[in-house]
Chains A and B, each alone.
Chain A
Amino acid sequence: MKKLYLVFAVLAIAAMVLSACGPSGGGAPDCTKEDVFCVGLVTDVGKIDDKSFNQSTWEGVKQAETELGAYVQYIETTDAKDYAKNIATFADAGYDVIVTVGFGLGEATAAAAAAYPDTLFIGVDQFQAWEYDDDASNDLANVAGLIFPEDQSGFLVGALAAMMTKSNQIGAVLGTDVVPPVWRFGEGYRAGAQYINPDIEISVVYHNDVGFDKTFSDPEWGATTANSMIDKGADVIFGAGGKTGNGAITAAAQRKVYAIGVDTDQYYTLPEAAPYLLSSAMKLLTPGTFDLIKLAKEGNFPAGNFLGKAGYAPYHDLEDQVPDDVKAKMEEINSMLLDGSLETGVAPVKPE
């Protein structure tokens, strides 16, 4: 029954698909010319001003506009089926660099890179597996995956949680650990908390009990799990895993305990949780995107995986509640992680 139901669901949704809009013309330079440097950005499903992934990446592209004199343009994707079409719109117009935002565009980006060998592609959060295989025919010299050390982001907020808890119990609610970045966030969090206090009680729960399609879009489960942790005594909750994690964060805020966001500064994306949002485990998208565009412009485009930087978001409304020694310790840990003198000790993927 459920399978039939799913098939119907797919059909029903497919029937309601809308088309994406193309880049607006009017006064645009001719990107096919050698001396015109054009950068196009294709968003994941959502708006360019989503205060999250799309916006942070776009800010990196805009930095290239002001500092490198690039002509920049974006296309907002409204449906996942339009990924390839939107990328092709830029590629056909002769754009030099095309930035695609998010894990979801990985396949479309790789396909476009093969079809347009003269265009450079930057895939944000798109791990390039070909870099590690022996089959040279898979190699794409014109794609760079901008990836991030999630274990370091997790480590930072784990340390912060361990310093801010009063009950000596903290929790993390995540999507499935089959996805390596999620696993790294969770285990980095654990490692960071134990770095501060080896005896701390940490609950790290992954949403492994449902299908892959639901693991990141089950806010109700995230809220239930967070509530369960809070009932047990946890007073800092880290939510990492799309809508599932957001459910945990809003539930924590409802129960008036500290919450920690993920990926970008969620103070702006989850206003309902903002008053209790301690920080967010961040991927620094803006500088990472800009660095890659700059390398492309200079002709040093690094195909393969390009490791960006981890960070943590400002304390915002809780600035006064975070003691100065905690702030100092956080900065110290951050700089130690950056210069490599401190390692998280987290395996890149979950061991078998």
Chain B
Amino acid sequence: MDWRRFSFIALIIATLFGIVVSIGHEQTSPAIIITSMLATTIAVATPLTLGALSGVYCERAGVVNIGIEGMMLSGAFFGWLAAIYMNSVFNFSTMPSLLIGVLAAMLAGGAFGWLHALLSVTFKVDQIIGGTVINMLAIGITGFLNRQLFFEKGSIFGGQVPHAPGVLPRIQLPILADIPVVGRVFDQQPIAITAILLVFLTHYILFFTRWGLRTRAVGEHPRAADTVGINVRKVRYANVIIGGLMAGLGGAYFTLESVPSFEPLMTNGRGFIALAAMIFGNWTPIGSWAAALIFGAAQAMQINLQFFREMIPAQWAFLQQSYIVGLAPYILTMIILTGIIGKNVPPAADGLPYEK
């Protein structure tokens, strides 16, 4: 973790929060604004964090994954489908249906991860093309099944979308959730909490275990890894599938944690933003998470500025255009990519198929 980058990210988030507080403090107390923005930031960052982790696993092992979007979308759909099936066909109660849904979402993502590994490791297909195939396939499959199962006469649900079992309930971590202002951070839905735990778990795995060392070796110099007896193929397969599981869990956020419904193309480019977050975070789990938080904070700012629209001072009138605020993270990503804030170092063998 390079500290220059980390403090830069923290500074940006603080600035975004500061702008909103300075505009809205006359109407709403700063504590409430910060609480509300923190909650939004973490919720919005959840799928981005998981998507970025998916990228970290794949790319650290040397496989470029631009199929995160498709993996997320299929996770969102199949997780939701499984939850509905369990709830309305097999009459499971809400919680088990939702948990099976989360599992199904991860498996759907994992299945696409396996497909990506098959294409890029076994068949040595150009990995950008492989990722594009996954994105297209996910859009097609989810859109097609969504319509066939729910909107066609004679389908299992007879053309009516059945009552969804609901969303995962919020979990309040004891003691921590009672802290004023930041307590809301510890009062989140389970996937949001899991995402944060996975960030640190991934950090530990990647930098402090044998598995992580092998993964990084394969991503940096597969031939050297091969010479010392590491099975490059196996390591890549495993990491890409793990990446798929992460993206699938990110997809579950949409349909099992945020809203109990599915929309075609629901992930709306989040997978690509996650990819940007990963680069922003220099292919490290904690850095990617921090970058995902910037995107989250920017959306929290966008929403909150609309609450205080009438109070924006005249010289800052451009802030009333919410899409301008929405551009901030993308502009920052471009600045980061230019290398001003430390050099971006992708794994050396990223994107290169390994030929024995």
* Neighbouring B residues of A271 by C-beta, 8 Å: 163
Q: Contact check, A229 vs B307: say whether CB atoms are below 8 A apart.
A: yes
C-alpha gap A178/B313 in the complex (Å): 24
Closest chain B CB from A206 CB (angstroms): 7
Q: Contact check, B166 vs A208: say whether CB atoms are below 8 A apart.
A: no
- Closest chain B residue to A47 by CB distance? B159
C-alpha gap A60/B136 in the complex (Å): 42
* Neighbouring A residues of B28 by C-beta, 8 Å: 232-233
Q: Contact check, B39 vs A227: say whether CB atoms are below 8 A apart.
A: yes
Q: Contact check, A219 vs B40: say whether CB atoms are below 8 A apart.
A: no
Which A141-194 residues sit within 8 Å CB-CB of chain B?
none
Q: Contact check, A5 vs B135: say whether CB atoms are below 8 A apart.
A: yes
Choose among A8, A9, A12, A228 the residue that contacts B304 (Cβ–Cβ < 8 A). A228
* Neighbouring A residues of B43 by C-beta, 8 Å: 224, 227
Of A18, A214, A228, chain B has the most CB atoms within 10 Å of the CB of A228
C-alpha gap A217/B265 in the complex (Å): 9
* Secondary structure call for the B interface: helix
Which A254-275 residues sit within 8 Å CB-CB of chain B?
254, 271-272
Q: Does A345 contact B (CB under 8 A)?
A: no
Choose among A9, A209, A210, A243 the residue that contacts B139 (Cβ–Cβ < 8 A). A9
C-alpha gap A46/B160 in the complex (Å): 9
Q: Contact check, B307 vs A203: say whether CB atoms are below 8 A apart.
A: yes
Q: Contact check, B143 vs A2: say whether CB atoms are below 8 A apart.
A: no
Choose among B147, B268, B304, B322 the residue that contacts A208 (Cβ–Cβ < 8 A). B322
Q: Does B272 contact A (CB under 8 A)?
A: yes
Q: Contact check, A272 vs B260: say whether CB atoms are below 8 A apart.
A: yes
* Neighbouring B residues of A96 by C-beta, 8 Å: none
B-contacting 9-mer, from A62-70, A127-135, A244-252: A244-252
Q: Does B172 contact A (CB under 8 A)?
A: no
- Given known pairs A224-B299, A228-B303, the reply for A272 and B166 (CB within 8 Å) is yes
Closest chain B CB from A273 CB (angstroms): 9
* Neighbouring A residues of B263 by C-beta, 8 Å: 217-219, 243
Q: Contact check, B259 vs A209: say whether CB atoms are below 8 A apart.
A: no
Q: Does A15 contact B (CB under 8 A)?
A: yes
C-alpha gap A224/B32 in the complex (Å): 16
Closest chain A CB from B1 CB (angstroms): 29
Q: Contact check, A228 vs B135: say whether CB atoms are below 8 A apart.
A: no
Q: Contact check, A233 vs B140: say whether CB atoms are below 8 A apart.
A: no
Choose among A12, A46, A222, A231 the residue that contacts B36 (Cβ–Cβ < 8 A). A231
Q: Contact check, A254 vs B166: say whether CB atoms are below 8 A apart.
A: yes
* Neighbouring A residues of B144 by C-beta, 8 Å: 16
C-alpha gap A203/B27 in the complex (Å): 12
Q: Contact check, B299 vs A231: say whether CB atoms are below 8 A apart.
A: no
* Neighbouring B residues of A204 by C-beta, 8 Å: 306
Which B141-175 residues sit within 8 Å CB-CB of chain A?
143-144, 147, 151-152, 159-160, 163-164, 166-167
Q: Does A286 contact B (CB under 8 A)?
A: no
C-alpha gap A5/B132 in the complex (Å): 8
C-alpha gap A5/B44 in the complex (Å): 23
Q: Contact check, B266 vs A16: say whether CB atoms are below 8 A apart.
A: no
Choose among A8, A18, A254 the residue that contacts B132 (Cβ–Cβ < 8 A). A8
Offer 25 A-B interface pairs, CB within 8 angstroms, sorted by A. A1-B272, A5-B132, A13-B140, A16-B144, A18-B152, A47-B151, A47-B159, A203-B307, A205-B303, A208-B323, A209-B323, A217-B264, A217-B266, A219-B261, A219-B263, A224-B258, A224-B299, A228-B37, A228-B40, A228-B304, A231-B184, A232-B36, A250-B260, A250-B261, A272-B260
Q: Known pairs A209-B325, A247-B259. 6 more at Cβ < 8 A? A: A1-B66, A16-B144, A47-B159, A217-B264, A217-B266, A232-B32
